[in-house]
Structures are given as C-alpha cells and as structure tokens.
Amino acid sequence: MADPMKIRATAQGDTVEVRVLMQHEMETGQRKDAQGKTIPAWHIAEVTATANGKPVLSAHWGPAVSKNPFLSFKFKGAKGDKVQITWIDNKGDKRTDEAVVV
C-alpha cells in the first residue's frame, strides 16, 4: 500500500482550494534499467475527488505526470466540508485519503 497523500483544503469565501500531494513513483515505461530492459510503466491512471460525497473532480492521467504528483483545484464549498481523494494506478492499486476544509 502506498504512502498517504498530503491534502490541504482551505476555504476563501465560498471557494475551496484543494492541494494534494500524492506519493507515487510514476514510472513512464520509457526508461531502461542497467540490463537494458524497459522498466514497465507504473503510474496513477485515475484520480477522483469528492466533497461531502459529491464528485468535484475526476482526472485521467498518463505517465507524463511527475513523480509524487501534485494536484490543485477549486470548487464551491465551505469550511467543514469533507474532501476525499482517491487514486487508482495502472496496476489496480488504490488509495483514499480525506481532509476537512479549514
């Protein structure tokens, strides 16, 4: 199981800005190891975010997203909302973390 995400969600007026830092290798599938064998791609393929159970963002990613991906987005919400982020990688591994908007 992967390491936890760092989620920071702050409200400014009625807009909530969410910043997420995920821990993931994001291997591109382009690199080769010392033996010249291609290292298979291993990256987050899908990210979904919900606030109080309602979807606020979904994303599909390719291997071109940087290692330990960063994501920021804004939605209409308020303090106390529960933001939940889930990612699924191309090996089917997944992780969900949540944070409360401050």
Partner 1 sequence: MNKGRRNVLQQGAGFGVLSALVAVGLVRPEDALAQDWKAAFETKSVADTMKALGGTPPAESKDITITAPDIAENGAVVPVAVASAIPKTESIAILIEKNPNTLAASFSIPAGTEPSVGTRVKMGQTSNVYAVVKADGKYYMTGKEIKVTLGGCGG
Interface contacts to partner 1, rule CB under 8 A: 15, 26, 28, 30-31, 45-46, 54-67, 69-76
Q: If we measure between CA atoms, which residue out of 82, 80, 73, 75 comes closest to residue 53?
A: 82
Of 1 and 35, CB closest to partner 1 = 35
Of 76 and 96, CB closest to partner 1 = 76
Least Cβ distance, residue 102 to partner 1 (angstroms): 19
Per-residue CA distances from 2 to 24, 25, 72 (Å)? 7, 10, 20
Of 11 and 57, CB closest to partner 1 = 57
Report yes or no: 72 and 78 within 8 Å, Cβ to Cβ. no
Least Cβ distance, residue 51 to partner 1 (angstroms): 9
Least Cβ distance, residue 1 to partner 1 (angstroms): 23
Per-residue CA distances from 1 to 9, 68, 93 (Å)? 24, 15, 7
